[in-house]
Amino acid sequence: VTSTTTIAILGGTGPQGQGLALRFAKAGVRVALGSRDSERAVLVATELNEKLSAYPGASQIVGTGNLDAVAAAEKVVMLAVPYAGHDETLGSIKSALKGKILVDLVVPLQPGNPRAVAMPDEGSATEAAQGLLGPEIKVVGALHNVSAHVLNHLEQTINCDILACGDDPVATDEVVDLVKCLGVAAYNCGPATNARCIEALTAIVIRLNISKKVPFTHAGIRIWAPDTAPA
Ligand SMILES: NC(=O)c1ccc[n+]([C@@H]2O[C@H](COP(=O)([O-])OP(=O)(O)OC[C@H]3O[C@@H](n4cnc5c(N)ncnc54)[C@H](OP(=O)(O)O)[C@@H]3O)[C@@H](O)[C@H]2O)c1
């Protein structure tokens, strides 16, 4: 990450996109926050920049239409729309994505039931994106398991690791390196087929978070090495 790195976050007006925009901007990454409605994007970006004024060194978030956000991104474009808008959004930006990396963080949850997934025929949203975009555009699945609530509370440490996967190992490593600027551990978890596991884990985290049987909410997934695990 350099001070000139600009990433795009599409669907950036939602809780997940806003949280990611805040975290990346706080880390000094410039963010083009995309929306289907550029005026909404500008309003949200203004609010987020106000929150960031407490953090010296934070970059600016610029609100714009989704397509202009893709154009502004140096390399990395994050897709943070609901699964219902996944394929349509990708179709609308496909030609602008050439030479860039699409980071897919969409979780295909069952409509009306966030405790379970409804995976597409391709196996996962990440694989569906790769199929739709074709081999020239590199797709990396990542950032599925981190809660919007935590991301938006900048005073909190991000309480999870980031699991990333994709069929291009170099692109996946680039995304892993980028997200480490958020102060998290991040891992290249192999090919895009592993997105079936990573995306699906989110439904388990959501199930626990909304369960009254456990004493927590907004939990995350973490990889514990044997010598660091709690007794
Ligand atoms: N929320 C979480 O804690 C969380 C955690 C991990 C992963 N995720 C994943 O991150 C993604 C975004 O989550 P979210 O909670 O921020 O979602 P959201 O609020 O439902 O949607 C995010 C944004 O997507 C745009 N959008 C809505 N419907 C759309 C459609 N049919 N087509 C295109 N764009 C549409 C909207 O922006 P505009 O109207 O401004 O275009 C909306 O503000 C989801 O795929 C979710 O599975 C969320």
pLDDT for 122 equals 98
Contacts of residue 178, defined as CB under 8 A and 6 or more positions apart, other chains included, come to: 1, 5, 7, 29, 76
**115 touches 205 (CB < 8 A):** no
CA distances from 156 to 40, 148, 151, 219 (A): 27, 12, 8, 12
**20 touches 55 (CB < 8 A):** no
CA distances from 217 to 56, 69, 205 (A): 30, 32, 9
**163 touches 142 (CB < 8 A):** yes
pLDDT for 182 equals 98
Distance separating alpha carbons of residues 108 and 144, to the nearest angstrom = 10
Distance separating alpha carbons of residues 41 and 43, to the nearest angstrom = 5
**Could you tell me the maximum CA-CA distance found in the chain, to the nearest angstrom?**
51
Q: Ligand 1 centroid vs 218 CA: distance in angstroms?
A: 17
pLDDT for 112 equals 94
Residue nearest to atom 30 of ligand 1 (CA): 85
Contacts of residue 83, defined as CB under 8 A and 6 or more positions apart, other chains included, come to: 106, 107, 108, 109, 118, 125
pLDDT 10s digits, 88-104: 999 999 999 999 999 99
Residue nearest to atom 7 of ligand 1 (CA): 144
pLDDT for 26 equals 98
Using a 6 Å CB cutoff, which residues line ligand 1?
Answer: 11, 13-17, 35-37, 40, 80-85, 88-89, 105-107, 144, 147-148, 202
Average pLDDT over residues 31-59: 98
Structure tokens, 12: 């950036």
Beta bridge partners of 35: 65
